[in-house]
Amino acid sequence: MADEKKPSAESNSPSQDLRSERDRFVKTFTRGSRLTDEFIQDYERMLDRVATLEAENANLRAQLAADRAVRDLVQQIERLEAEKSDLLSRTNRAEAITNQFTTRVQEVESEFSNLANLYVASNQLHSSLSPRGVTRRIKEVLAQLLGAERYSMYLANEDGTELVPIASEGIGGNDLAPVPIAESRLGDVLRSGEAKVEEDGDPSRGDLNRPAAVIPLVVDERVVGVIAIFSTLSQKTRFDAVDFELFRLLGQQAAAALVSASLFAQAERRLPGLEAFLDLSV
């Protein structure tokens, strides 16, 4: 058997071309591996970015939904505010109409109350045909309707020099004396025929020297006496419009009622005969 030659070390190593090809392959493989790693890294970064974008997109959608809800809410609030303004406007108009109606009702009630007072006063003055009864009715009107606390009624004497008290309330006996017409506040009213009323002052603080009101008593356009209201009750601190109407009514009807009752009493409470009325149309 022939001896075989053992390969030398040089025969076991690749040739130069093979080494070059191997090196190129290794480099190519290494580069491909590196590119693969880079691709994987890029892909992972892309996945992270996609996840981030999806999260941001979800947040944006949520924000958009919230903004839309807020916008809808704001629009609803604006509509409600407009409805509220309209309702308030209607309510204010209704309140204004109600206030006007209430004011008018109060005015009508006040006018009705005033008319009722005047009717009651007139009816009271003519409800009696006795001088004492008429005087009592006059005092009731003064006390209950005018709120007089201290007052007196005077008639002029025959010679026209003095005013003589015929009825009073709240006045002491020493103060009930005839009053000279020539030099007195009461006499001034008798001569002028015009009432004097303390419109600006407090009638409850009046006194004998300065009465709160002095009213002339007229019979057939002739002043025959006066009613002097020296002071009113403490709660009546001013005269109202109806009080002035009552002053006028008393001035025109109180003395006439008193004179009629006096004449009727002098006629022994006998009514005139029919002949006394026959010529009334002349």
One domain, residues 135 and 258: yes
The pair of three-digit structure tokens given for residue 84, joined into one six-digit string: 């509220």
One domain, residues 199 and 235: yes
Q: What is the C-alpha to C-alpha distance for residues 259 and 98, in angstroms, rounded to an integer?
A: 50
- pLDDT means per 10 residues, the chain with 282 residues, are 50 62 66 72 82 82 81 86 88 88 78 73 78 88 90 91 91 85 90 89 88 92 92 91 89 87 78 62 52
pLDDT of 155 reads 92
How far apart, in Å, are the Cα atoms of 6 and each of 3, 265, 271? Answer: 9, 187, 187
Q: What is the C-alpha to C-alpha distance for residues 150 and 174, in angstroms, rounded to an integer?
A: 14
Q: Give a yes or no: residue 273 inside a domain.
A: no
Q: Give a yes or no: residue 155 inside a domain.
A: yes
One domain, residues 75 and 156: no
Q: Give a yes or no: residue 280 inside a domain.
A: no
Residue matched to tokens 């890029």: 42
Residue matched to tokens 């006018």: 111
Range of the domain at 47: 17-111
pLDDT of 2 reads 46
Q: What is the CATH number of the domain that holds 229?
A: 3.30.450.40
One domain, residues 26 and 144: no
When divided into structural domains, the chain yields a total of 2
pLDDT of 26 reads 63
pLDDT of 13 reads 56
Exposed e or buried b for every residue in 17-37, given b needs 16+ CB within 10 A?
eeeeeeeeeeeeeeeeeeeee
**Helices 241-266, 16-125: inter-axial angle, 10-degree rounding:** 20
For residue 214, the Cα-to-chain-centroid distance in whole angstroms is 37
pLDDT of 25 reads 65
Q: What is the C-alpha to C-alpha distance for residues 110 and 242, in angstroms, rounded to an integer?
A: 9
pLDDT of 154 reads 93
Nearest to 133 by CA among 260, 38, 268, 281: 260
One domain, residues 96 and 184: no
One domain, residues 56 and 175: no
Q: Give a yes or no: residue 7 inside a domain.
A: no
Q: Give a yes or no: residue 281 inside a domain.
A: no
Q: Give a yes or no: residue 171 inside a domain.
A: yes
One domain, residues 86 and 156: no
Q: Give a yes or no: residue 278 inside a domain.
A: no
One domain, residues 244 and 145: yes
pTM of the model: 0.60
pLDDT of 6 reads 52
One domain, residues 107 and 173: no
pLDDT of 29 reads 62
The one-letter amino acid code at 247 reads: F
For residue 16, the Cα-to-chain-centroid distance in whole angstroms is 118
Q: What is the C-alpha to C-alpha distance for residues 153 and 142, in angstroms, rounded to an integer?
A: 10
Residue matched to tokens 């020296």: 230
One domain, residues 132 and 261: yes
The pair of three-digit structure tokens given for residue 169, joined into one six-digit string: 């309330």
The one-letter amino acid code at 211 reads: P
One domain, residues 135 and 221: yes
Q: Give a yes or no: residue 235 inside a domain.
A: yes
One domain, residues 196 and 105: no
